Chains A and B, each alone.
Chain A
Amino acid sequence: MIDSTTSDPTRATSHMWVTQLYAIVLGLGVLAFVLAFDYRTFTDKSHIIYIGMLALLVYVMLFGTVQMGARRWIPLKIVNLQPSEFAKIAVALVLAKFFGENRGAPQWTDLGIASALTLLPLALIAKEPDLGTAVTLLPVLIAVAYLAGMRMRILGVLCLGLLLAAPVAWKFGLKDYQKSRISTFLDPSQDAKGAGYQQIQARITVGSGGLSGKGFKKGTQGQLRFLPVAHNDFIFSVLAEEQGFAGVLVALGLYLFVILRALEAARLAQDRLGSYLVLGVLASFTFQVIYNITMSAGLAPVKGLTLPLMSYGGSSMVATLAGFGLILNVRMRRFTN
C-alpha cells in the first residue's frame, strides 16, 4: 500500500498545527470516500466535476477573499477553500477520460481539445493571480498526452513553441513582480534586500543545516523569520536546516518511494483509463514536489508553490489526499472488472 500519510513535520504555531491536523483527518475521510467508489464512476462524471470546478473558479474570481494580493479563497464558515487546488484533480479526471476513450496515438485535434480543456481552468487560476498553481496543470496535460502515445515530435514542437513564447510572455504576460523574481533568480545579489532576499536566505538556511541539522526547533533561519513563509512555501528549507542532509535524504526517499509506487500503480492499472488517471494525478504532485524542493534550496525562482503533504494548507492537503484516493482506487481495482 502506498503510504500516503507521510510524516508531517509542519512548522507553525500551535493553532495552525491543529488546523493542519483537521485537514489531514478530513483528507483521510475524503480518501476513504473516494476509495468507496470505482474510479470509473468518477471518470464517468468527470464532465460534471469539471464544469463544477470551473464554476467555483469563476465564483472565486468574482467573490473570493483577497489574501497577500491574490483572490484565491472562498471563505466558508470555518475554513477557507482554495478551489485551484482541486482543479488539478478535475483536470486529471477529465483528461484521463478524454484520452481513455480515444484509441491509438492522439492526433493534433485530440491534443487541441485536451489543451483547451487544460488551458481554460489554467487561465482562470492564472487570473487570480496564482501562476504557480496554474502552471501545475500543464504537467497533467503533458504527462497524460505522453502516456497516451503522443509522438515525441509533437512533444518537441510543443517545447519549441513554449521556448518561442517565452519572450512574448515576458513582455506581455508577466507582471512586474513576476519578472523581478525571475531576473533576480538569475542574479540574486543584484537585489539582495528585495526580491533576491528569499532566495539567498533559502540557500543560507539549507546550507547552514549541515549533515545532521541544528535540531528540531533549533533552526535560527526559520525560527527567527529570516526566511519568510517558512511554514508554507519554504517548509523544506526548514527541514533541511533542522534535520540536515540526513533529514533531506529521508524526505526525498519517501517522496521518491511514493511517486515510484504510484507509477507502479499506473503500470498495474486494469485499463488505460486507470493509467492515465494515476499519471494525471501524479504529474502535478511530482511537479510540485520537485519544483518546491528545488526552490527551497534557492535553486529555482521563488514561486508560491506548496510542497504537497508537508506545507501548511488545508485545501492542498485534502486535494492531495483525494488524489491519492484515486491512485489507490485504481491500484485496488486492478483485478476487478
Chain B
Amino acid sequence: MALHEERRKLGIRLTGLQYGVAVVFSVLAVSFWVLQVVKHAKYEEIAENNHQRTLALRAPRGLVFDRHGRVLVENRHSYSVSIVREHTKDLNRTIRLLAAVLGLEERGVREIVDRHRREPTYRPITILQDATLAQVAAVTARRLDFELPDVVVEQVPTRRYPTDALASHLFGYVGEANDAQVAEGGDLKSGDIVGQSGVEKVYNTLLMGEDGAKRVVVNSVGREIRTLEEEQPNEGQRLELTVDYDVQRSLEDGFKWAGFNGAAVIMDPRTGGVLAFTSVPGYDPNAFAAGIDRATWASLNSDDLHPLQDRAIQGRYSPGSTFKMAVATAALEEGIITPDFKVYCPGHATFFGRPFQCWKPGGHGAVDLRHAIEQSCNVYFYTVGNMVGIDKIHKWATLLGLGEKSGIDLPNEVQGLVPSPEWKKAKTGEKWYAGETISVSIGQGQVSVTPVSMAVYISTIANGGTRVTPHLLQAVDDGSGWKPAKAPAPQSTVALKPDTVQAIRDGLYLVVNGGGTGGAARIAGRDVSGKTGTAQVISTEGSKAAKGKTTQDLRDNGWFVFFAPRDNPRIAGVVFVEHSGHGGTWAAPIAKHVMETFFAKQEGKPLPPGPAPTTHPPEAGGDDPLPPRPSTSPVAVNDRAPERPAQ
C-alpha cells in the first residue's frame, strides 16, 4: 500500500516535470518563431551587411589633350591605404600598428581618423595616398597575418601632370572634396577627388567620372571570399583644350631663359582660343594629386613669390605705356583727332599748373599719332588724353576689355580698374580732378589691369573691335567621339573705324619694325606689331617703406603686348615680366620666341630652338620708361603710382 502510494506521488511529480518540459519547449519554439519569422527581415538585412561589402572602384578623371590631340594630363595607378572601421574591434590598436607599419606618425594618423569619425563605418578612411610599394608590401604582409584585418589597400587612379610645372595654373590641381564642397555638390561624398583650381575645377563635372562598385563576400575577418557583382567605373569625359603644347612650351622656355617671374596669355585674336597661358612661378600639381603633405602646402602658401597665385588672372598691375592705344582709340573714334594730328614734344609739358615729363629729356619734336605710338611719346598722349577727357577714355578702355573681367573659363578671375569720376566719387567721395586724367593717359595713376585683360585688349585692337572671350575648351569627348565645344560669345562688339585700326596698327608695326622700343620682337616677314610698357612697381614713399626688400623687388615691371601679322592677325597676346625693367628688354624677346614657334608649327617647319641662356639681351636703353622719379618736386605721375598688388 505504501509502495502504491509512493508510486502515485512519484507519478504526480513526473507528470509535473513532463508538463514543465513541454512548457519550456513551447516557449523556446515561440522565441524562435519571433526571431525567425516575425523579425526575419531585420536580421536578414544585418546578415547581408555582415558578409557583403561594397568597395568603390574609383573612376579615372578624363584625360586632357592639347588642340592637336597631344596628351597633357593623364592618370597613373597609385595605391592608397585606408581603414574600414565596420568590424574593427580595437581602433587604437589598428591606428598604432598601421602607423608603425607605414612609418607614419601615430598622431597624424589619429587626426585623420578623428576627422572622419562621424562618417558611416563602412566608408573607408584614407590614411595614406600614393603609398610606396614598400609600404603596400608591409601592409599586405600584415593583413595575411590577420593583424590588420580592417585595413584595405586600394588601387586608385591618380592625376599625372607634366613634370616641370608646365601650365600649372591652367590645369590647376585636384584634391579631396572639402566639407563645403560636399555640402553643396549633390553627388559629392567625403573623400571624392575633385578639381580645386584651374581647368580641373571649372570642368570638374565633365572630368569626374562615375565611380564603379564591387560587391564582395567577406568572412568575419574581412577577407574577400568572392565577388558577387562588379560595376565598372566610367572614366570622366576627355577634354581637348585650345592650348598648343609647343607654343605653351616655348612660352615656358622663354620665362626660364629670362629668369623672371610674370605671366602671359597668348591667343587667337579672332576667336579668343587661348594658345598658351602661364603664370610664373608655378607649382607642381603632382604634389596635390596624391594628397599634398602639410609641409609642402605650408611652404607654397608662405612663399613670398606666391606660387599659388595665378598672376595672369589674379595679378593687378599698372599697364604703363601699353595703355596709350586706348587713349588713341578714344580720340580717333570720338573724332577728336585724326591720325595726322601733331603735337610738339619739348620733353615736358605743363597742365593745370603742374609739370609733366616725357621720358626723353630732349623731347620728340613734332610727332603724329603713328610716331607718337612708335616713340611712346608721353607729351603727345598727355595732350590727347586731356582733350578726350576721362569719361571717354574710360568708355573706350572698357570697350577694349580693360578694367573688366575677361570671362576666361578659369576660376577666381579678378577685375582690373580703369578709373572714372563715378568710381572716384563712390570710392572716396571726392570729385575728379582734370589733372588726374593726364597720368591716366599714359597708363599711370589708378589704372590697373590683369594680364589676361591685356590679352583681350590687344586682340580687340587686332581684330577691329570684337572683345573676344578667352577660352580654353575646344572639344569634349564623352565616350561617343569628339564634339566641338561652342566658343563663348564675345563680351562686346564695336566696329572700330578702319582708319582708326589702320593708324594704330601702323604705330604698333613701327614699334617693332621701325625705330621703336619693340625691336627685340622683330621677325622677318611676319609683320609683328606690338607695344612695350614699363610700369613702376612702387612710389617714392613706398620705396622708403619697403626698406629691406631687395632692389630686385623694386625694379619696374615690363610689358609687351603684340599681334602678328599686322594685317591679318592670327596670334595676339601679352607677356608680362615682373621686375624685369623695360618691357622691350625681356618681355619682347619672350614674345618673339613664342611667335616664331607658332608660325613654324603652322607651316610645319622645325620648331626654333629655345633662346640660349647666354644670349641675354643688353638692357634696352632710353626707351619709354617713366619720367625720372623726382626726389623733391611733386610730380603727378609719381603720386599715385600703383603698388605691387597685395597678393
Chain A contacts to B: CB under 8 angstroms: 143, 146-147, 149, 193-194, 201, 203-211, 220-221, 224-226, 240, 244-245, 248-249, 252, 255-256, 259-260, 263, 266-267, 272, 275, 279, 286, 290, 293-294, 297, 299
Contact = CB atoms under 8 A, between A and B. Distances in A.
Contacts of A206: 32, 35-36, 43
A208 B47 contact: yes
B18 A297 contact: no
Contact of A224 (B33, B36, B225): B225
A183 B190 CA distance: 38
Interface stretch (B22-30, B348-356, B556-564, B633-641): B22-30
A15 to B, nearest CB: 21
B88 interface: yes
A221 B49 CA distance: 11
B510 interface: no
Interface in B32-56: 32-33, 35-37, 39-40, 42-44, 46-48, 50-51
A206 B47 CA distance: 10
Interface in B1-25: 6, 9-11, 13-14, 17-18, 21-22, 24-25
A26 B406 CA distance: 94
A294 B221 CA distance: 27
Given A193-B88, A224-B217, A252-B28, A210 B44 contact: yes
Given A210-B44, A224-B225, A226-B50, A147 B36 contact: no
Nearest to B33: A245
A210 B10 contact: no
Contact of B25 (A211, A255, A263, A266): A255
Contacts of B28: 252, 290, 293-294, 297
From DSSP, what is the main secondary structure of chain B's interface residues?
Answer: helix
A297 B21 contact: no
B10 A275 contact: yes
Interface string B57-87: 0000000000000000000000000000001
Given A193-B89, A252-B25, A272-B6, A221 B50 contact: yes
Give me the 9 closest cross-chain CB pairs, A-B, nearest first.
A207-B43, A208-B47, A224-B219, A245-B36, A193-B89, A220-B51, A226-B220, A225-B220, A210-B40
A245 B37 contact: yes
Contact of B10 (A203, A252, A272): A272
Contacts of A297: 28, 31-32, 35
16 contacts: A146-B13, A149-B9, A193-B90, A201-B50, A204-B43, A204-B50, A207-B36, A207-B43, A209-B40, A210-B44, A224-B225, A226-B51, A245-B36, A245-B37, A248-B29, A290-B25
Contacts of B36: 206-207, 209-211, 240, 244-245, 248
Interface string B183-215: 000000000000000000000000000000000
Contact of A208 (B6, B24, B40, B89): B40
A272 B7 CA distance: 8
Interface residues of B, number: 40
A220 B6 CA distance: 54
Contacts of B51: 220-221, 224, 226
Given A204-B46, A256-B22, A299-B31, A211 B37 contact: yes
B253 to A, nearest CB: 60
B523 interface: no
| Residue among B17, B39, B50 with max Cβ neighbours from chain A (10 Å) | B17
Given A224-B217, A224-B218, A147 B32 contact: no
Given A224-B51, A226-B220, A263-B18, 16 more contacts: A146-B13, A193-B90, A204-B50, A207-B42, A207-B46, A208-B40, A208-B43, A208-B44, A210-B36, A211-B40, A220-B47, A248-B32, A256-B21, A266-B14, A297-B28, A297-B32
B9 A207 contact: no
B326 to A, nearest CB: 72
Nearest to B39: A207
Nearest to B50: A226
Given A224-B217, A267-B11, A207 B50 contact: no
B47 A249 contact: no
A248 B28 CA distance: 10
A226 B9 CA distance: 49
Interface string B410-441: 00000000000000000000000000000000
Contacts of B10: 147, 267, 272, 275
A263 B18 CA distance: 7
Contacts of A240: 32, 36
A215 B9 CA distance: 47
Nearest to A283: B17
Given A224-B225, A240-B32, A272-B10, A207 B21 contact: no
B14 A267 contact: yes
Contacts of B46: 204, 207-208
Contacts of A147: 10, 13-14, 17
A221 B218 CA distance: 11
Contacts of A225: 219-221
A194 to B, nearest CB: 7
A258 to B, nearest CB: 11
Nearest to B18: A263
Interface string B83-112: 000011110000000000000000000000
Nearest to A290: B24
A203 B35 contact: yes
A299 to B, nearest CB: 6
A96 to B, nearest CB: 13
A100 to B, nearest CB: 12
A62 to B, nearest CB: 35
A221 B87 CA distance: 14
B223 to A, nearest CB: 9
Contact of B18 (A207, A220, A260): A260
Nearest to A143: B17
A225 B35 CA distance: 20
Contacts of A149: 9, 13
Given A226-B220, A272-B10, A207 B40 contact: yes
Contacts of B11: 267
Contacts of B90: 193
Contact of B43 (A203, A255, A263, A293): A203
B507 to A, nearest CB: 81
A205 B89 contact: no
Contacts of A143: 17
A217 to B, nearest CB: 14
A211 B34 CA distance: 11
Contacts of B44: 207-208, 210
